[in-house]
A and B are shown apart, each in its own frame.
Chain A
Amino acid sequence: MTANLPIVTGIGSVSPYGSLAGLIPPSLLEPSLEPSSTPWATRGTRRAFLVDPFRPASMVTGLKTRRLDRLSAWALVAASLAIQDAGIDLATVDRYRVAVIFATGFGCVELTESFYRSAAENGWSGTDPITFPETLTNAPAAHVALLHGLRGPNITVAGKSFAGESAMIQAASLIRHGQAELAIVLAGDTLTKPVYEWYEAANLLSPSCYNSDLLANATGFVRFVPSEGVAALVLEPAGSREAQSYAHLRSGRWAAGGQPAESIRQMLGGAVLNLIVCAGNGAPCAASPLASLARRIAGPDAAIVPPQAVAAGLADTGALLHLILALSGRPRSGQALLLATSGETGFAAIHLELP
C-alpha cells in the first residue's frame, strides 16, 4: 500500500473566506467568521456562511460562466487556483492521466430550480434546452476537464455525510492503481432558498441562523449553520516531481457502520497521532459520537481540532475545507487523522502525514 501514495501539492478554495490559492491566511481566520444574512426574502432574518458574489473571470482570466450553475463556476475557480498553487504546467502532463473527482451533496441546485421554475411558468413542454445539461450533477467536473483539457477519469460522487472523504480516498485509489498520475479533487455545494428552507423545515438549523447575538460556535452547537463553497486539492504521487507537499495521504476508510474505533486503529497500524481534525457535518447526529470517537482514537499527545462551523455547514462535502482550515490554522507536522462520523457508527477516516 505504500507505492504511489499521493501527496497534496495544491490547494484552492472558493468559500466564505474568499477565493484563495493555497492555505487561508491567518488574517482571515481571526476573528472567527460570522454568518451573514441570506439574500432571499424570508419572514425574518436568516443567516448562513455565504460566498460573497464575485466575477469568476476576475480570478481565472477568460472564464465564461454566465450560463453555468454557481457550483460549476466555483469548481472551475477552485480547481484553477489549486493547479496554480501546485505549480503544475499542464502542458507538460499527459492529460489522459489527469483525473477529476468531484464530491457534492446537492449538485447544481440553482439551475435545477431554474429548470423547475421554467416548467412551472411554461409547462414541461416549454423548458429551456440550454439550462438542462447544466443541471446535471457531473456538470462541474465536466467543466473543469473541458477548461483544462483533462482527459482522465472524470467522476462525480455523493455520499451521505462523507462525500468529500470518499472523493479523496477514490482519487488516491486511482493514483495507486496507475489509472491517474494526477488528480484534482473537489468538494462543495451551493446554498439556495429551497435548500435552506429544507434544512429549516427539517429542524436542522442552529439558533444562530436566526439571532446574530448567538455565535456559530462549532463546539457547542447541536444544529448547524448552512454554508457554501468549493474546496479543491491537487493529489499526485510522492516523488513524481519537485513540489511542495501539504500532506501525505497514507490511507483512508469510510463505512456506513460497524466498529469505527477498531477499524481506524487497524488502518493506522500503530501510528501515533499528533493531530485529529474533526470534520463533522454539524448535524445533531454527528456531534456527540465524533467527539467521543476522537478521544478514543487520540493518543495522549494528540491535539483534537473540533469541527469548524464554516466547513461543517457544508454538510456532506465539508471534509476538504476542514482539512484546509486545519492546515491553515496550526503548526503542521507529524501524523494526522481527518475524522468524521455519521449516525451512531458511520465513520470516515483519512490518515495523513504532515511535513
Chain B
Amino acid sequence: MTDTKETIVVTGVGVVSPYGEGLASLQLGLLSGKCCLAPVRNLYPGFEGTTAQVGELPFLGQGASSRYSRTDRLALAAAQDAVADLDRASFAFRESGVVMASTVAGLSEIDPGIAQDPAAWYRHGGLARAASYPVSHVAASVGEHLGIHGPNCGVSVACASGAVAIALAANLLLDGAAPMILAGGSDALCPFTLSGFNSLQALDSGPCRPFDRNRQGLNLGEGAAVLVLETLAGATARRANILAVLCGWAMTNDASHPTAPHKEGTGLAECIGRAMEMAECDADEIGYVNAHGTGTLLNDVAEANAYRKAFSGRSCPIPVSSTKSYLGHCLGAAGALEAAIAITAIRCGALFPTLRLKDPIECPGIDWLRGEVRRQPLPLAMSVSAGFGGSNAALIFGSGRP
C-alpha cells in the first residue's frame, strides 16, 4: 500500500522558456520540434554565437524591475505560473517553502565597473543591483513576491542545481518542514557566463548537436521552471490535480576533476542506480531518459558510459535524448526545466528526439532518440543532470497511474 505521507507528488508546474510562458507552450514547442536556438551578436561586444533567449517577461508589479534581477524575474514568472491554480489564502500555500536554484543569480545585473571602484559603482546606481547578487535572492524574491512564509533556500550546484533543488525539496517534505514546496531553478543569460564558457571554448557557434560524433559544444539558454511539490496525503486532502509522482531522486559526486566529468560516468551511473533503488523500479521500467546532454565532447561520452552501466540489465536499449538541442543549456534552470519536460513526456506519452543528431556516439544499450517524436505510453521517465564540480542528480517521475 502507498504511504501517502512518504509519496511526493507534483501538483503544479510553472515554466518560462524561450517558447514562452506556461507548460502548454513548452509542450507545444517540443511536440512541434521547434528549435529556439538562434544566432546572436553583441550580447557583449565582439560576441557572435548561438543562444536561446526568453522574450518579454510578464508584468510583475510596480518597482519589480529595480528590485529584482532578470534571474529573479524569470523565477517569479515561473512561480506565478506554477501556483496559478492554488488557493493563495490557504494555510498550505501561506506556509509553503521555496527551494530555488541558480548559478547566475544577480550576476546579470553587475558589470565590470564594480571591480574597478566598487564604492563609485554603488553610488552610481549599483547598490540596489548588487543586492540581488546572492544566490539566495532568487528564492527570497519568490517567497516575498508570493507572500509565503515557509523555509526558504537557494541552491547552487552548477548545472545540476535545478534537479538538486527538487531533490532537497522532496527531502524537506518528507521531514514535514512545510505542507508544500515550490522548487525549481532560474538563470538568465549574461555576459559573465557567456564569456566564461566562451573562454573555456565550450560553446558551439552554431546550434548544438548533443550526442553526435561531430558535436562542437553547448549553447547557452535562459529560463526558469518551478514545480509545486507536496505529499500525496496533502494533495489528496486538498483535492489537488496530481500531474506526476516524484518516485525517486538521488545525488552523487564524481570527485574526479574540478570541471570534467568522470570519463566512465561512474558517479552518474551510481546516482541513477540510487534513484531507481528509491523508486523501487528496475532498469526495464524506465521508459525515457531526458539526458543532461550538453553537446560538449567530454560530457556526452561520460554520460553515454553512465547509461551503458546503469541500464546494463535492460532487455532493450534505453531511449535517451537531450532537449538542450531545443532550448540550449539554461544552467541552474536546466534541471528544473528538464524535470518539467520529463513530466510533459509522461503526460503526453511522447519521447522527444534530440534535434540534429545525425551520427550518434556509438554506445550499445542506448536507443538515441532522433527524427520524429515517438509516441508511446510512458509510466516512468528519468531526468538526469550533471555539473562542474562533479555533481550529479537523477529524478524519476511517474504518471502515478497503476
**CA A177 to CA B393, docked complex, whole Å:** 16
Chain A, 107-163, CB within 8 A of any chain B CB: 107, 112-117, 119-120, 123-125, 127-129, 132-139, 141-143, 145-146, 148-160, 163
Residues of B within 8 Å of A139, CB to CB, are: 258, 388-389
Is A150 a contact partner of B255 (Cβ separation < 8 A)?
yes
Chain B, 90-107, CB within 8 A of any chain A CB: 95, 97-98, 103, 107
Is B112 a contact partner of A158 (Cβ separation < 8 A)?
no
Q: Which residue of A lies closest to B195 (CB)?
A: A124
Is A119 a contact partner of B195 (Cβ separation < 8 A)?
yes
Binds B, one of A11-19, A197-205, A295-303, A333-341: A197-205
Question: A314 within 8 Å of B by Cβ?
Answer: no
Q: Which residue of A lies closest to B171 (CB)?
A: A173
Question: A194 within 8 Å of B by Cβ?
Answer: yes
The distance from the CB of A135 to the nearest CB of chain B, in whole angstroms, is 7
**Size band of the interface chain B makes with A:** 35 or more
**CA A193 to CA B119, docked complex, whole Å:** 9
Is A157 a contact partner of B252 (Cβ separation < 8 A)?
no
**CA A23 to CA B41, docked complex, whole Å:** 55
Question: A174 within 8 Å of B by Cβ?
Answer: yes
Residues of B within 8 Å of A157, CB to CB, are: 153-156, 168
Binds B, one of A215-223, A254-262, A284-292, A304-312: A254-262
Is A149 a contact partner of B143 (Cβ separation < 8 A)?
no
Residues of A within 8 Å of B149, CB to CB, are: 255-258, 345
> Interface SS of chain B: helix, strand, loop or mixed?
mixed
**CA A100 to CA B391, docked complex, whole Å:** 11
Chain B, 109-144, CB within 8 A of any chain A CB: 110-116, 118-119, 122-123, 127, 130-131, 133-137, 139-140, 143-144
Residues of B within 8 Å of A114, CB to CB, are: 115
Q: Which residue of A lies closest to B144 (CB)?
A: A256
Residues of B within 8 Å of A179, CB to CB, are: 171, 250-251
Residues of B within 8 Å of A105, CB to CB, are: 134, 136
**CA A163 to CA B155, docked complex, whole Å:** 10
Residues of B within 8 Å of A148, CB to CB, are: 255
Question: B257 within 8 Å of A by Cβ?
Answer: yes
Number of CB contacts from chain A to chain B under 8 A: 230
The distance from the CB of B391 to the nearest CB of chain A, in whole angstroms, is 5
Question: B151 within 8 Å of A by Cβ?
Answer: yes
Question: B175 within 8 Å of A by Cβ?
Answer: yes
The verdict on A201 contacting B191 (CB below 8 Å), with A141-B389, A146-B257 known, is no
Mark each residue of chain A from 182 to 204: 1 if its CB lies under 8 Å from any CB of chain B, else 0: 00000000000110011011100
Which of A129, A151, A201, A256 sits near B152, CB closer than 8 Å? A256
The verdict on A155 contacting B251 (CB below 8 Å), with A106-B134, A117-B116, A256-B149 known, is yes
Contact residues of A with B, CB < 8 Å? 95-96, 100, 105-107, 112-117, 119-120, 123-125, 127-129, 132-139, 141-143, 145-146, 148-160, 163, 166, 169-170, 173-174, 176-177, 179, 193-194, 197-198, 200-202, 253-258, 316, 345
- 7 residue pairs A–B, Cβ–Cβ below 8 Å: A116-B114, A116-B115, A117-B115, A124-B47, A146-B258, A163-B154, A255-B97
Contact residues of B with A, CB < 8 Å? 44-47, 95, 97-98, 103, 107, 110-116, 118-119, 122-123, 127, 130-131, 133-137, 139-140, 143-144, 148-158, 164, 168, 171-172, 174-175, 177-178, 191-192, 194-201, 250-259, 267, 270, 387-391
Q: Given A141-B157, A254-B151, A316-B134, 9 more contacts at CB 8 Å?
A: A124-B194, A125-B45, A142-B388, A142-B389, A156-B157, A158-B153, A173-B174, A253-B151, A256-B152
